[in-house]
Amino acid sequence: ETGVTQSPTHLIKTRGQQVTLRCSSQSGHNTVSWYQQALGQGPQFIFQYYREEENGRGNFPPRFSGLQFPNYSSELNVNALELDDSALYLCASRVGGGRLDEQFFGPGTRLTVL
Amino acid sequence: DAKTTQPTSMDCAEGRAANLPCNHSTISGNEYVYWYRQIHSQGPQYIIHGLKNNETNEMASLIITEDRKSSTLILPHATLRDTAVYYCIVRALIQGAQKLVFGQGTRLTINP
């Protein structure tokens, strides 16, 4: 078991609404990355947080934002939801500067935008 | 990060070896080959990685060609639980945001 948890498991929203997804990282991991996975596609990197600061971002608009808290848990916020935001949202945690093979993914949150 | 090419889907009989190919002809000297898999409704799981030597762990073996332009992931005795999408990723070990660039992967189905 990886120890990375995400909530909620599933979520349904309508266009224009805002959503907050949560990730609890594995104990001792201070780095959290978020990925978006559309149906039938591989995960796409959204951004990464290290010690409460964003330190890397993929090709996603500013309406995708995040937070990391002192306990290293993290939130992904998406404003003005669009239909194409329907996807599985994954978070992954590791120790900053640690090896990628020691990064663990959570089970994801399935977001449906109607 | 170098681009990878994988077959869209593969089938394998339970108990047989599953050999999943990956082409990465533009790989650079400092780039590693990583393999992940994603079982339905779960997050991706790390399997193995290597630079130029063949690697083996409790899950799989990784065979990298001498020119490093392709590799093969081998699951020696496939079980039904190995049914998943397998991703081959090439990336350098650099500081900063160590993002993973996933392609579409290979959907491996293990048949009883």
Q: Are strands A104-105 and A74-78 parallel, antiparallel or unpaired?
A: unpaired
Question: Which of A105, A56, A29, A93 lies closest to B94 in space, CA to CA?
Answer: A56
Mean of pLDDT values over B102-112? 94
Please state, in angstroms and rounded to a whole number, the distance separating the CA atoms of residues B56 and B68.
17
Of A4, A92, A100, which has the smallest distance from its Cβ to B34's Cβ? A100
Of A41, A55, A106, the CB nearest to B104: A41
Q: Rounded CA gap, B112 and B107, in Å? A: 16
pLDDT of residue A1: 46
Place of tokens 């170098």: B2
Name the minimum distance, in Å, from the CA of B36 to any CA of chain A. 9
The answer to whether residue B94 scores a pLDDT higher than 70 is: no
Name residues of chain A where pLDDT drops below 70: 1-2, 97-98
* Among chain A residues, CA nearest to B94: A97
Output the CA–CA distances (angstroms, integers) from residue A105 to A12, B8, B12, in the order listed: 22, 23, 27
What per-residue confidence (pLDDT) applies to A19?
98
> ∠A102-A30-A56 over CA atoms, to 5°?
90
How much is the pLDDT for A55? 87
User: What's the DSSP call for residue B82?
Assistant: G
Range with lowest mean pLDDT among B60-64, B85-89, B94-98: B94-98
Q: Which residues of B touch A55 (CB under 8 A)?
A: 96-97
- Whether residue B23 contacts residue B5, with contact meaning beta carbons closer than 8 Å, is answered with yes
Q: What is the pLDDT of residue B93?
A: 62
CB < 8 Å from B in window 30-59 of A: 33, 35, 40-45, 47-48, 55-58
Q: Which residues from chain B sit within 8 angstroms of residue A90, using beta carbons?
A: 43-44
The answer to whether A13 and A19 are in contact (CB under 8 A) is: yes
